[in-house]
Every structure is written in structure tokens, then in C-alpha cells.
């Protein structure tokens, strides 16, 4: 998430009620998880195993629970509970704002776009030109919708990420402050869900088309001209290339990379990265030709076994040796 205008580390420390080291005027222009940080971002670390990774990442401000030497050009915020204070910072910088109407006045809707009765458009949503948002569709705060987009009934764009942290006796929610970005000429089928990024963006590329009941997890990026059939599930932080076809009831695990031009046949389950321009099938998914050969071999073995069993049973009945 970008912070516009940037805040100084001193101002941020005062709001959080914690101390800091570094230049008081050191600017913070964004916040992100450690695997997504850019220069200007603030992130947090609360385990010694990851101290060096955070301190020497691209992040220029770090919330940390131990006094350490501050790397040159960076600033540190010292916290007893970095996760808690990172969540507090999200609440301060992007607070929840209750809606006052179905189409909120802070949103922008482009020329010739149609918002059907019963659709909900949240705060600070941007919708481009020539779009159709059907009844019952819900677009959460800060989402960005391109031109010529169709969102069918009862779909939800920009809901929170499914992201929680277990503690000894309770569970805490990682607040979502990212966005969902739907690019031009995308169509989202009925009852589909596209979650917002946790601190970054979930992005759907131009001309990609979803059937009904498709779920896309947080921070996933899907390329251009992809087709997703009904009941496809994609885990968070997955990267899917251009011209990918995913047939019905396919499940793709989180954090994977699916290459350009991949075809995933129905009911497959993907648990590893897939090389582009190939067809895959099965659970776990493998190249379809290989999988079909394996299935044929197993079927042949089963038939052979049944023939042997039948012959053995007949021999038992007749007393043949």
C-alpha cells in the first residue's frame, strides 16, 4: 500500500506510541510484507530468524522487537509486538469507513457505465467507461475497475484476504489494506470472488474471462486473455501468465507460478509451478499425456490382476493344479 503523502518516521512513532532510531524526518511512503517490499516501504519482523532478511531488504523502515544497529539510509521502529503495531499502523492509515449508501459519493464511475439496482460500490472505487455491474454485485473500497468490464450478480470484488496468525490461545487477523485491480475487457461470472491484496494488489489482466463461482486469493496476479471455467479456486500470491485456460473445478495452491499458455484440464489439483505452453491433468497435476499413460498402465495392471484372480478362482473350483 502506498502512503500519499508520505509520513516521517517520527510522526509514525508518535502515532504508534513507540521509539525509533534514525533520521526523524526519514520518509515512509508505503507499507508491505517482507516478500513484496520496495524502497520507501515499511515492514515488520518479530523473529530472530528473519532479522537480517528484513534489515537488508529493500524496505527502508523496519518495525523490530530488538535493539540492533540501524543500516545506513534506513530507520527502525522499536516495538514489543511488531505485528500488533503493523496492524495498528494499517488501521491508522487506511481505517474502515462505513458506507452511507449503495453507491458511495467518493467513488468515480466512468461514462456510459451502468450500475444495476442493488449493486454496491464502496468508498474510493474507480470504475471505467462502458462497464456493467449487475444486481447484487459488491465492489469493496479502493478497488479499481477498467473499461468495458462486466461483473455479474452476487460477485464480490475486493473482500479481505484469508490471512490469520495463530497465537497460544486466540487467532489474530492480518488486516488487508491492498487493492483489487480489474483491467479492461474483463468479465467476472456470477457468484465469483476476487480478494484484495494484503498489502499489495490482486490483479486481473485485460480480456480475461471468468465463469461462475470462481475464487481468486489475495495478491494473485493473472495475465491477459485467460479463461477460467466454473468453480476454479486459486490460492493467494500465485502468478498466472497470459493465455492460460483453466477448466472446471481446478484447484491451484498458493504461491505458485503458472506459465503462459498452460491448459489445465478439469478437476486437476496443482501443487507445484507449471511450465508454459503445456496441457496438464490430474491430482497432483502432471503433463496430460504422461498422466493418461499412467492411468492406462494402472488400468491394464488392474485388468491383468482381475484375470489372474478369476483364473485362480476357477482352478480352485475344478481342483486343477
Give CA–CA dist 218/102, Å, rounded. Answer: 25
Higher per-residue pLDDT: 295 or 69:
69
Give CA–CA dist 248/38, Å, rounded. Answer: 37
182 and 65 in a single domain? The answer is no
The pLDDT of residue 125 is 98
Whether 242 contacts 221, CB under 8 Å = no
Percent of the chain with pLDDT over 70: 98
pLDDT tens-place string over residues 185-215:
999 999 999 999 999 999 999 999 999 999 9
pLDDT tens-place string over residues 44-69:
999 999 999 999 999 999 999 999 99
pLDDT tens-place string over residues 79-131:
999 999 999 999 999 999 999 999 999 999 999 999 999 999 999 999 999 99
Which of 65, 93, 121 is at the close of a domain?
93
pLDDT at residue 320 greater than cutoff 70: no
160 and 79 in a single domain? The answer is no
42: in domain: yes
77 and 130 in a single domain? The answer is no
51 and 135 in a single domain? The answer is no
The pLDDT of residue 230 is 98
Give the DSSP per-residue string, 108-177.
EE-TT-EE-TT-EE-TT-EE-SS-EE-TT-EE-TT-EE-SS-EE-TT-EESPPP--EEE-SS-EEE----
Taking residues 264-279, report their average pLDDT: 97
244 and 273 in a single domain? The answer is yes
32 and 57 in a single domain? The answer is yes
169: in domain: yes
Which of 64, 93, 122 is at the close of a domain?
93
279 and 139 in a single domain? The answer is yes
Which of 69, 93, 117 is at the close of a domain?
93
267 and 124 in a single domain? The answer is yes
pLDDT at residue 314 greater than cutoff 80: no
Q: Three-class SS of residue 288?
A: helix
In the structure grid, which three cell numbers stand for residue 141, read together? Answer: 473500497
Name the average pLDDT for the chain.
94
Of 9-13, 16-20, 31-35, 239-243, the one with minimum mean pLDDT is 31-35
Cell 503458472 belongs to 258
Give CA–CA dist 225/247, Å, rounded. Answer: 14
CATH code at position 45: 3.40.1390.10
The pLDDT of residue 139 is 98
82 and 127 in a single domain? The answer is no
CATH code at position 279: 2.160.10.10
Q: Three-class SS of residue 225?
A: coil
Domain count, the chain: 2
Q: Provide the residue range defining the domain that includes 162.
A: 108-287
pLDDT at residue 316 greater than cutoff 80: no
Q: Is 62 left (phi over 0), alpha (psi -120 to 50) or beta?
A: beta
198: in domain: yes
Percent of the chain with pLDDT over 90: 87
Taking residues 155-173, report their average pLDDT: 95
218 as an active site residue: the answer is yes
Give CA–CA dist 134/7, Å, rounded. Answer: 39
214 and 250 in a single domain? The answer is yes
From 170, 213, 218, 277, the catalytic residue = 218
The pLDDT of residue 291 is 83
Amino acid at each position: 500500500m502506498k502512503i500519499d503523502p508520505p509520513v516521517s518516521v517520527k510522526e509514525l512513532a508518535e502515532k504508534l506510541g513507540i521509539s525509533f532510531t534514525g533520521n526523524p524526518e526519514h520518509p515512509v511512503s508505503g507499507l508491505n510484507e517482507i516478500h513484496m517490499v520496495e524502497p520507501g516501504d515499511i515492514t515488520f519482523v518479530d523473529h530472530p530468524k528473519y532479522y537480517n532478511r528484513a534489515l537488508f531488504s529493500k524496505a527502508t523502515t523496519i518495525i523490530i522487537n530488538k535493539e540492533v544497529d540501524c543500516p545506513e539510509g534506513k530507520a527502525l521502529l522499536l516495538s514489543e509486538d511488531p505485528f500488533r503495531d503493523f496492524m495498528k499502523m494499517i488501521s491508522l492509515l487506511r481505517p474502515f469507513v462505513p458506507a452511507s449508501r449503495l453507491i458511495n459519493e467518493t467513488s468515480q464511475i466512468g461514462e456510459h457505465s451502468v450500475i444495476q439496482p442493488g449493486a454496491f460500490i464502496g468508498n474510493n472505487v474507480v470504475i471505467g467507461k462502458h462497464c456493467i455491474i449487475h444486481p447484487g454485485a459488491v465492489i469493496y473500497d479502493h478497488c479499481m475497475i477498467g473499461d468495458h468490464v462486466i461483473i455479474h450478480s452476487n460477485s464480490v470484488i475486493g473482500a479481505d484476504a484469508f490471512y490469520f496468525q495463530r497465537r497460544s490461545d486466540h487467532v489474530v487477523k492480518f488486516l488487508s489494506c491492498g487493492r483489487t485491480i480489474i483491467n479492461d475487457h474483463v468479465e467476472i461470472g456470477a457468484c465469483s470472488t476476487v480478494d484484495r491484496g494484503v498489502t499489495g494488489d490482486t490483479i486481473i489482466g485485460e480480456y480475461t474471462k471468468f465463469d461462475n463461482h470462481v475464487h481468486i486469493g489475495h495478491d494473485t496476479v493473472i495475465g491477459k486473455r485467460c479463461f477460467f471455467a466454473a468453480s476454479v479456486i486459486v490460492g493467494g500470491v500465485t502468478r498466472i501468465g497470459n493465455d492460460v485456460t483453466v477448466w472446471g473445478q481446478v484447484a491451484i495452491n498458493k504461491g505458485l507460478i503458472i506459465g503462459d499458455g498452460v491448459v489445465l484440464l478439469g478437476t486437476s489439483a496443482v501443487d507445484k509451478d507449471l511450465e508454459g505452453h503445456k496441457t496438464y491433468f490430474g491430482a497432483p497435476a502432471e503433463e496430460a499425456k504422461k498422466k493418461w499413460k499412467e492411468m492406462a498402465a494402472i488400468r491394464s495392471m488392474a485388468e491383468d490382476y482381475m484375470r489372474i484372480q478369476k483364473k485362480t478362482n476357477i482352478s480352485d473350483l475344478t481342483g486343477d493344479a
